[in-house]
Structure 1
């Protein structure tokens, strides 16, 4: 590439080619990107011919050849005749937008279903149908994001004179190329590569189909339906150009964007401006994030929803498996159920949170309004989200596995996971240590914090030392020693070997 760069510089110095003037003192002929090169040449026949000569010279010197059979020229804002002349002189084909380059779509309308065919094909190639069905919710989010992350958006096209658009082969009508929509008419056409301009008759202000025989009755009806959906070309308006549909003058401005956003109806998906920003950026598992997202939209399959969707299958009463006292719906399960209220009482006491939400959506709105860059905000968000997630898992375990935990055991799991998901942030490491200390053993149900008693100091629970250290530096407060009765019970329960009273 260095040799080719010197050849191009030599041609530019001798005025044999001319690049692009980005400023009075900067004439750019080429840019190197590792093994790739981007060449800028003024649109003149002699410059294009000199460039072709230089590339042939580079091929002879380096042994690297351009595969003309795989090369295509895509004219953008270039009339048809000059583009065709360049393609013929180089011996390459002339293409049309939209197309695909290195797997990326170029041109087209995102509002058209055909625009996403390339995306669907990528997903189908990456995973067969049975593999996709086995993906977790987080895995599906990752797959979709990886496929969509580089796609262009907001492409809206306006057909002017139609000289640069193929009538049959380009997707200019919004759904698919007309050759695919009406293949019968395409087969009858005598001008299969003609442009939109070629098929439009300005004198009659109507379309001229260019077919090899008169249309039959059913073909006339088909053409009449298609013709009614075609946009009318605008002669003498130049090439197609982008169009902003939110303004009557078709010109983009930020005021129109602000207006349409302010007029958007309030829905669970946008009731808080920081909702998705907080939810998707916080550091905990994607399956938990997806669960909160479905909770926002009210798509959790609680018993009342299953009764409505599958009345013949869900014959049993929609009873809450957590309390066995009330019917199960989303607000009862996560907020009003006595089991859930015990957990929320513990969380409010620990976090010193005085808010009392009455429904799930207001609860999620409250926690998503928290500043997760703040120590307390992050821990409050994690605790609340994990609490909701754990309630759902506990409910499913009771239904499908006939296994359940009491509220204290589940609260300990919530504390441990809150610390685990907060620990990537160094300044929040203390909550991870505290949770680790509380959850190390199962002998701390009778009091707030725990330690083994009646054994040598080197056998003491390591979690207790963590708690004492946190108390010493002021990060843990109200640390309580085990009661005397509990000490006696532990002493009676544990074996005598290696222990001292």
Structure 2
């Protein structure tokens, strides 16, 4: 037992996991026993005699004997002939079929599309046709953000999802959002990546699977960088070393795949490691040259000529600040570039004050300094998804379906007759079905049509605001921003305008598709009653029906 050290041994759900450190080998080897299956991974010059000794130690310590004749060996990231040699030497057989552990297929090559078929199938099962047909667009949006976004979370937190699988999953969500069956095609009025974008970028904030997958993978890098005392750090360091860069010799490694993705994101403009920095307290746990603890880069990158003179390249900030900067150099600094870099370094260090508190890592994308998957995912989406010049306006006092309708109307993504004609749909006429006075587009239906003008003027008289004629949403927003009301009351009246446009559009649809013409005289009454019902139920403070009818601009919220 002098040649090995049992580093980890634990039983989880009758499964034994042991990590063995072989002193005469160059890496930490894995041995995993689950349901009569032995699993090995990332072996290098393995001492098989030592493995048998570890199994005997486990038998003596626990009283449990592993029957190798009944066990099977499965290699992960190991060539098949190595697995066969291992099995023959240990005395067990080779497992031909993969097995599932904690919901993940062990032994599958997750860089291919086929192992993700189960995830895609589960996503399709949650998007049954009756759900898409019975839910409103607000209900479908809520389901996309909650249940559907979390369904593949476990697999995505461990493996990089292939591009084809990401595209298929986003296609499923897109069809569900449109209310279309997976086998049928409908007109796409707005690109799916614009729906995925955050509300501040003009989207609906659904968030992409790509950003979620990358944020979950980066969480493992944050754990490795920020917590050197954790078991995760010790295991990864023992297997792969402490370098945060991919190694060609470990291309099949899951950790190496994650590090490669860090490089890919950096090349695309998202430098994750630059957002992780040390906040120095006493400086005892921060490396002066190698850690990114002040400024945008580490000192070894910012001052390479001085770093070449350093004799103790792992020196801590505490030790370096306790003496002169040149005290640990192998020679005195000469003139030229070296002197310029020395003066710049000294000027930076003059602003540093150490404190008695311990050092800690901070993440610049989070307000509290700790890593957040949500903040990382949002940052990735904001960088890679399209951005609209106007943020999405969202009123909590009206239902989600009203907000989504208003969002689509502002983007001119409604099936007006002019839009249908532009997309090649054959129509009898492109004139407005309400007034027949002009071509039907979004601006005409909601602002220029006589019916819309009458309703908007009545709303302004009801709320005691001066109406100014507007011919588009941009003009309306400019007028609305000049109204002098409290922000909460302005939210109410904005919700009323949204409800008005919703009912105008509904009246237009009934006029086209219903057998009997709808009644125009009840439109305004429906707007008043429904807006009261929705705003009253969604506001924290209660206001009466009388105050809503008589003095809505004086409501106290």
Point out the structure with max Rg over C-alpha: 1
Query: Per chain length, whose mean CA-contact separation is higher, i.e. which structure has more relative contact order (CA < 8 Å, sep 6+)?
Result: 2
Normalised-by-shorter TM-score class? 0.3 to 0.5
| TM-score relative to the length of structure 2 | 0.43
